[in-house]
Amino acid sequence: MRCSIGVDIGHTNIRAARVADGVPTEVRKERTDVPGGPESVLEQARRLIAELSGGDRLPVGVGIAGQCDSAQGVLRCGPGFWWPDMPFRDRLSAAVGAPVVLRNDVVMATVGEWKHGAGRGVDDLVCLFVGTGVGGGAVVGGRLLEGASGCGGHFGHVSVQMDGPVCSCGRRGCVEVYAGGSNVEKRARLALDGSVLKEMSGGRPGSITCSMVAEAAERGDESSLRIRDEMAAALSSGVASIINSLNPARVVLGGSVMFGFPELHSMVARGALEQCLRPAADKLTIERSALGDLAGTVGAATMALEFYG
């Protein structure tokens, strides 16, 4: 049995797990201290790794919500999008006294699904995770897509509407603008009048969450259903473009926001298959994430073993 530690640092939560041959044996989860800045998040990660290692010097994989220079181990743009370039990998490695591999969080989740989840057994895989933001990863011809500067797979920034709303990246109409959790909440706050969300939130727009929007949609609330349908349309269009570009054998859809809306997965799968090129769909199946919230930690731990096991 080979053990390693996987850490998944998201905008909202940090998860860490001790993983043995792809199976998490001990898991920790807490809020990411984004307001505390990079030093505080580094300390959070160090503490969780120390707790889970129990004195063993285990290789560590870290996935983080941001863009990473994987060769240099530098975080180019971290949670909250205001961290300066930071040598996160080497700083953490020195702090825990063990080797560390660093990648984008959804790239790590893609590794998790590929090796131990819904993407097992295929050499051409696309994963799309819908959470606070929308991220992705891909395996092409049996190799993880990393890109020339470690930036491959940012499928949330595929634009599906050239004149759409402005995204956090500066472009218009990205998939993330319509389907990312924080943008869904923003859109719901702007459409409060006449919605059951007004009653559910006690009239406080700031308290509206994605799960409230999902629940309101289940109750037949028109503005929430419109938001869900726009999410499905944007995701379907984006996924169809990715299928046409990469011709995967399997697409895995996951993330807390994707799972929060019960019908979203089947709407996106149907829409993407209708829109993509016929030959690109010949060998394609579209599946749900098998590892759920732990895909990132399992993937990070798996990559740590591949590099340093």
Interface ranges with Zn ion (CB under 5 A): 157, 167, 169, 171, 174
* Helix or strand holding residue 251 (H, E): strand 250-254
3-state secondary structure 52-104: HHCCCCCCEEEEECCEEECCCCEEEECCCCCCCCECHHHHHHHHHCCCEEEEE
Nearer to Zn ion, 11 or 116 (CB): 11
Q: Which residue, 122 or 233, is less far from Zn ion as judged by CB?
A: 233
Q: How far is the CB of 170 from Zn ion (least distance, A)?
A: 7
Would the CA dihedral through 303, 304, 305, 306 be positive or negative? Answer: positive
Shortest Cβ distance from residue 151 to Zn ion (Å)? Answer: 13
Q: Which is nearer to Zn ion, 47 or 171 (CB)?
A: 171
Q: Which residue, 169 or 192, has its beta carbon nearer to Zn ion?
A: 169
Token readout for 268 is 């996106």
What tokens appear for 131 in the block?
Answer: 């959470």
Q: Least distance (Å) from Zn ion to the CB of residue 220?
A: 31
Residue type for position 143: R
Minimum CB separation of residue 169 from Zn ion in Å reads 3
Using the minimum distance from each CB to Zn ion, give the nearer residue, 154 or 198.
Answer: 154
> 17: closest CA among 55, 48, 58?
48
List for the chain the helix, strand, coil content (%; round to 5). 45, 25, 35
The CA-based diameter of the chain, rounded to the nearest angstrom, is 57
Give whichever of 50 and 169 is closer to Zn ion, judged by the CB atom.
Answer: 169
Instruction: State the nearest-atom distance from the C-beta of 166 to Zn ion, in Å.
Output: 9
Give the shortest CB-110-to-Zn ion separation in angstroms. Answer: 19
